[in-house]
Amino acid sequence: MADSIAAISFADAHADPYGRLGLVRNPDGSVTRQFEHPKTPVSSYDGSPILLVKDVPINQSKDTGARIFLPKEALESIPGRKLPLLIYFHSGGFVIGSVATTGFDDLHRALATEVPFVVVSIEHRLAPEHRLPAAYEDCLEALHWIKNSQDEWLEKYADLSNSFLMGSSSGGNIAYHVGLSASSRVDDLKPLNIKGLILHQAFFGGNKRTESELRALNDTLIPPRFADVLWELSLPVGADRDHEFSNPVLSIKPGQFDQIKALGWKILMAGYENDALFDRQFEIAKMLEDEGVSVVANFVEGGYHGIDIFEFPKTKVLCEVVKEFIISLMTTA
């Protein structure tokens, strides 16, 4: 895991963020991708005693898809017994990463085996080639693909009536926005029945620096200027960081959360106080509570952005938090 940290961290908080992302910024504002971050191929799971893994396409014209993680214990359990479904959106600031990125993939594996769940991790298009709301649209399309899917693993082993959306960092932002959209079309998504959202170290922003961002100006993992570049690359052209995709607190509409409340969804907000994005996450949690949404806040002292991906003991703790949250919301047949 230490190699994964080194691959994206800054020896100097003022180093070129584009270079660390593997990008070169061109004069016309486009970028050239120089390299891909390390990936874990599906073949690496061949012969695994605990897990089956496969990649499946969703929309070939957009090159979107999913990586499905199936715990082998599902095959050995009581016939007809199914596992809850966790639909996961990966991190990467909307700009880098994939379902196969090493580190992200380690978290998928832990969630599938430690809990256990059937995990479907969604491959969405990346910015700046495909700016927001492209990732939201792809992930919402993925929900429709799941509900209509004839995939054998999902049909036999996934309990669609106990489904949850989870995302880390930018994936937490996706879970928030896609969850809002999904709450207004629950009938159209049946038999997929979402019970709650898990926003894990969610990536939100704003024009004015927060105290946690100011404390992190010299952070070597995700200094605010690095986050600024991610927003610059991912938001619609001409938008600033107070756009509703980045700073939804400023864009609350009357009745926006009425359907989430009526459905009885809960939202788990998980993070660390030393994360540069902590104040943003806390602000979202407070806004949701003020709007009457049921929020479970799990903010832990210390830490840093991405710790649950980079440090396996923390990964296991996160899995336990997620497991407890999901079990509290599950219904039995």
Output the pLDDT for position 8.
Answer: 47
pLDDT for the residue 332: 56
Q: Count other C-beta atoms under 10 Å from residue 4's C-beta.
A: 18
Q: Residue 20's pLDDT band (boundaries 50, 70, 90)?
A: confident
- The better pLDDT of the pair 333, 247 is held by 247
pLDDT at 138: 98
Residue 44 has pLDDT above 70, yes or no: yes
Q: What integer pLDDT is reported at residue 210 of this predicted model?
A: 98
**Res 271: pLDDT:** 97
Average pLDDT on 258-279 reads 97
pLDDT tens by residue, 154-197: 999 999 999 999 999 999 999 999 999 999 999 999 999 999 99
In whole numbers, what is the pLDDT of the chain averaged over residues?
92
pLDDT (average), residues 88-108:
93
Banded pLDDT at 12 (limits 50, 70, 90): low
Asked if the model's pLDDT at residue 333 lies above 50, the reply is no
Judge residue 314's burial from the number of C-beta atoms within 10 Å of its C-beta, 0-12 exposed, 13-18 middle, 19 or more buried.
middle
- Judged against a pLDDT cut of 70, whether residue 4 lies above it is answered with no
Task: Reply yes or no on whether the pLDDT at 301 is more than 70.
Answer: yes
> CA 28 to CA 11: how far, in whole Å?
28
C-alpha distances (whole Å) from 239 to each of 3, 23, 234, 278 are: 35, 21, 10, 23
Pick from 14, 7, 4: nearest CA to 218: 14
pLDDT score, position 91: 96
Is residue 124's pLDDT more than 80?
Answer: yes
- Structure-model confidence comparison of residues 114 and 211, the more confident one: 211
Catalytic residues: 169, 275, 305
The answer to whether 286 and 292 have CB atoms below 8 angstroms apart is: no
Task: Give yes or no for residue 331 having a pLDDT over 80.
Answer: no
Asked whether residue 1 carries a pLDDT value surpassing 60, the answer given is no
Q: Who has greater pLDDT, 14 or 103?
A: 103
Residue 11 is predicted with a pLDDT of: 47
| 83 vs 220, higher pLDDT | 83
Residue 105: the pLDDT is 83
In the prediction, which pLDDT does 30 show? 87
The token pair that represents 187 in the structure block: 């009938």
pLDDT at residue 129 in the model: 96
How many whole angstroms separate alpha carbon 194 and alpha carbon 160? 8
Largest CA distance in the chain: 60
Residue 2 confidence class, pLDDT cut points 50, 70, 90: very low
Q: What does pTM read for this prediction?
A: 0.95
Residue 325 has pLDDT above 80, yes or no: yes
Domains of the chain (ranges, CATH numbers)? 17-331 (3.40.50.1820)
What's the CA angle centered on 178, arms 277 and 42, to 5 degrees? Answer: 85
